[in-house]
Amino acid sequence: MNKRVNTLVLLVLLLTGLSYGCIGSTNGTQTATEKPKVLTISTTTSLYDTGILENVVAPIFKEKYNIELRFIPKGTGGAILDAKSGASDAILVHALPKEQAFMEEGYGVNRKVFAYNFFVIVGPKDDPAGIRGLSVSEALKKIVEYGRAHPDKIVWVSRDDGSGTNTKEIALWKNAGFDFNELKNESWFGTTGAGMGNTLLYTSERKAYTLSDIGTYLKYQKEGKINLDVLVDKGEELINVYAIIIINPKKIPDKDFEGAMLLAEWLTSEEGQKAIAEYGKDEFGRPLFYPAVPVLKSEQGDVFRWILKYGFMKDGDKYTECPEKFRYQPKYDFFEFPASVVEG
């Protein structure tokens, strides 16, 4: 009898020890038996539609930190509205004026630039407007000329959704001498109010032109979903800079500030930057996005200056990814450079 009792006691102690070993760790590392936390991220569709977030970022982040990433894909404007309503812990966006306004209103802190690629103007292979190889402004002027000569067909398709791509498009039309709000009332100018993927599908169907980020275009073209050519891809104004902004816990206190900061740290870490650099190489023969941190560390080259000019904020006599007044309990450093680098 005593022998049986002793055996049972030993068994209970062994199971207790194993259980403790599974759920506890002296070094603070998360383990697979713990229920993962969930971090909600509002993101631009041009990141989401490429698959990099769900196929690369989320799996690695969950394995490393036992935190699941839940994405709400919308245009930058929609992502910002969601964040303001308290739906997300951080946002991944690419529209500097909207980002700065979001932070000025007190909603965002600790902005970090983590990636870039380029916008492109895509259109039919036969290129009826004759824009192939032109500068951005010359190409847009040709499209307007062709559109007004063919008022019975859709020649240009705009997302017109307040997204980062739409924000860039409006600026490009302005640089070419046109008012976006006036153009979109003309019969040849179509709008979707949708994300990048759906806009590309509609543009291809109508054999029209549109502005796209290169990542979504490459994915959809490779998968045979669209039949469009890259016709204009030159010019510093086409650079497309992505940043993560953490929701300010003083403005919306129930958000996971620590988890969001951890994501920002990982995205800009050596591991995160390598993951960004590798995504797309095997399938497309080139990355869909480029890591921004190595370029910023190099402090040289055209792309370095373009990232500062189109992706950094002016803060006194310097350009920075996050002005000092928008920093809250930061656990990482911020890149900042003299204004003379950009302004000469």
**pLDDT per position as a tens digit, 69-85:** 999 999 889 999 999 99
For the stretch 266-281, pLDDT in tens is 999 999 999 999 999 9
Which pLDDT tens digit goes with each residue over 13-61?
A: 334 443 434 433 333 444 446 788 999 999 998 899 999 999 999 999 9
pLDDT in tens, 178-188: 999 999 999 99
The 3-state DSSP class for residue 69 equals strand
Q: How many percent of the chain have pLDDT more than 70?
A: 90
pLDDT-derived band at 232 (thresholds 50, 70, 90) equals: very high
**Beta bridge partners of residue 190, listed in sequence order:** 157
**Over the stretch 239-266, which tens digit does the pLDDT of each residue have?**
999 999 999 999 999 999 999 999 999 9
Where is pLDDT greater, at 14 or 191? 191
Residue 204 has pLDDT above 90, yes or no: yes
Output phi, psi for 92, to 5 deg.
-115, 115
Report how far residue 248's alpha carbon sits from residue 254's, in angstroms, rounded to the nearest whole number: 10
What is d(CA 149, CA 145) in angstroms, rounded to the nearest whole number? 6
Query: So what's the pLDDT on residue 33?
Result: 62
User: How far apart are the C-alpha atoms of 173 and 162, rounded to whole Å?
Assistant: 15
String of DSSP letters for 126-194: T-TT--TT--HHHHHHHHHHHHHH-TTS--EEE--SS-HHHHHHHHHHHHTT--HHHHTTSTTEEE--S
What mean pLDDT value characterizes the chain?
Answer: 91
For residue 36, what pLDDT is reported? 85
Instruction: Mark out the alpha helices in 251-301 (DSSP H runs).
Output: 257-267, 270-278, 281-284, 293-298
Residue position matching structure tokens 């206190």: 253
Single pTM value for the model: 0.85
Q: Closest by alpha carbon to 288, among 72, 48, 41?
A: 48
Q: Which residue has the higher pLDDT, 76 or 99?
A: 99
Q: What is the mean pLDDT of residues 95-118?
A: 97
Q: What's residue 24's pLDDT?
A: 37
Pairing of β 318-320 and β 90-93: unpaired
| Residue ranges of domains in the chain, CATH in brackets | 37-117+239-341 (3.40.190.10), 119-237 (3.40.190.10)
More confidently predicted of 28 and 172: 172
pLDDT digits (tens, 9 = 90+) for 53-68: 999 999 999 999 999 9
